[in-house]
Amino acid sequence: MTAARERPTLEEVARRAGVSRATASRVVNGSTTVAPSIQDAVRRAVRELGYVPNLAARSLVTQRTESIALVLPETATRVFSDDPLFPGIVRGVSQELEAAERQLVLMMAGSAASHDRIERYAMGRHVDGVMFASMHGMDPLPGVLARIGMPTVCSGRPLAATARVPYVDVDHGAGVASAVRHLVAGGRRRIATIAGPQDMVAGIDRLAGYRTALRESRNRSIVAVGDFTRESGAVAMRQLLDDAPALDAVFVASDLMADGALRTLREAGRRVPHDVAVIGFDDAEFARYTDPPLTTVRQPIIEIGREMVRLLLAADPRARSSSPPNW
């Protein structure tokens, strides 16, 4: 049996390039203060020897892990359900991090214990930045991390007034108000809504947009609340039919809940859109294949994920200057 070849060392790279170990180290770690001819010599030696930098040692030098965490304050069951938010956010974040040569660390905080674990992990500087999506309530963690200098970005406006954290969001209220005005213009007069959870900014702002448009048209609000799941939409729709049997339209705060609402309307013998018009929110892929196909407000979920990464990297000068050399 042939003994495995030992990994080339940085000292060997330095000897091959004819420079000191310190100079070789600076080039390997991405320094731009070394003369271009010396950089070329070191990089050529790296290629010829097949040298692979020790990432643990590199992080000690650069004080960086090259990893960014995406925290989803949800259970694994919810994250890996058919909700289009999560794969869309992860896809956008992954695309932008790959372009920036950063590693994604996906973390779920669906319980108090997991929330505490993530706080310790982030405060231990095991990642270079943290992004939050699908936040509930007055979560203090984004503000805590921002105050200790950890680059932090949220998807959605943080509800905690003390959390002065950059965020990426859409104008939920304006989008919903536009949808409701469309229903009013189409002659609908008893327009209900299935609102999202009121501990999330998307749920709060979409309900506010609905109420704004209803006040403009002097129509009465008819509200049921779901939790952005398909089943909650079905249940909320049954409640609305009991409370307001004569309703002729419903704005639903997510496409997944709208799909559940469509099922309930079919079971109740209500034709869509003839008897009841339905509009959702998200423009999820499956909305094209519901029965009937769902009218919906588009939310650019993938682009939100990408913009979160851009905002995070822009907030951290070290993140922009510490990329490894392009070998």
Cβ count within 10 A of residue 179: 23
What's the confidence (pLDDT) of residue 53?
Answer: 65
Q: How far apart are CA 303 and CA 135, in angstroms?
A: 18
pTM: 0.77
What's the confidence (pLDDT) of residue 318?
Answer: 52
For helices 255-267 and 230-243, give the axis angle rounded to 10 degrees: 50
Going edge to edge, which strands form the sheet with 129-132? Answer: 103-108, 67-72, 129-132, 152-155, 167-168
On whether residue 326 sits in a domain, the answer given is: no
**50 & 33 share domain:** yes
Q: What is the per-residue DSSP string for 168-205?
A: E---HHHHHHHHHHHHHHTT--SEEEEE--TTSHHHHH
Q: What is the CATH number of the domain that holds 74?
A: 3.40.50.2300
**162 & 211 share domain:** no
Residue 183 exposure: Cα atoms within 13 Å on the Cβ side: 34
Q: What is the CATH number of the domain that holds 44?
A: 1.10.260.40
**182 & 275 share domain:** yes
Of 104, 92, 324, 85, residue with least CA distance to 228: 85
Residue 326 is classified by DSSP as -
Please state the length of the chain. 327
On whether residue 136 sits in a domain, the answer given is: yes
**234 & 292 share domain:** yes
What's the confidence (pLDDT) of residue 60?
Answer: 46
**158 & 133 share domain:** yes
**80 & 39 share domain:** no
Owner of token pair 């674990």: 117
On whether residue 269 sits in a domain, the answer given is: yes
Domains held by the chain: number: 3
**54 & 73 share domain:** no
On whether residue 1 sits in a domain, the answer given is: no
**131 & 82 share domain:** yes
Q: Which two tokens stand for residue 318?
A: 């070290």
The secondary element (H helix, E strand) that includes residue 68 is strand 67-72
The secondary element (H helix, E strand) that includes residue 1 is none
Q: How far apart are CA 249 and CA 240, in angstroms?
A: 11
Cβ–Cβ under 8 Å, residues 63 and 319: no
**184 & 266 share domain:** yes
On whether residue 5 sits in a domain, the answer given is: no
**122 & 86 share domain:** yes
On whether residue 4 sits in a domain, the answer given is: no
Cβ–Cβ under 8 Å, residues 209 and 172: yes
The parent domain of residue 207 ranges over 172-299
**283 & 312 share domain:** no
**189 & 213 share domain:** yes
Cβ–Cβ under 8 Å, residues 67 and 127: yes
On whether residue 235 sits in a domain, the answer given is: yes
Q: How far apart are CA 228 and CA 255, in angstroms?
A: 8
On whether residue 2 sits in a domain, the answer given is: no
What's the confidence (pLDDT) of residue 6?
Answer: 72
Q: What is the pLDDT along the chain (327 residues), one digit of tens a residue?
A: 444 457 788 788 899 889 888 888 788 776 677 888 888 888 888 888 877 765 545 544 545 678 899 999 888 888 888 888 899 999 999 999 998 889 999 988 877 787 788 888 888 888 999 999 988 888 888 888 888 888 999 998 888 765 688 999 999 999 999 999 999 999 999 999 999 999 999 999 999 999 999 999 888 999 999 999 999 999 999 999 999 999 999 999 999 999 999 999 999 999 999 999 999 999 999 999 999 999 999 999 999 999 999 999 987 655 444 444 444
Q: How far apart are CA 143 and CA 141, in angstroms?
A: 5
Owner of token pair 């943290």: 130
Cβ–Cβ under 8 Å, residues 104 and 95: no
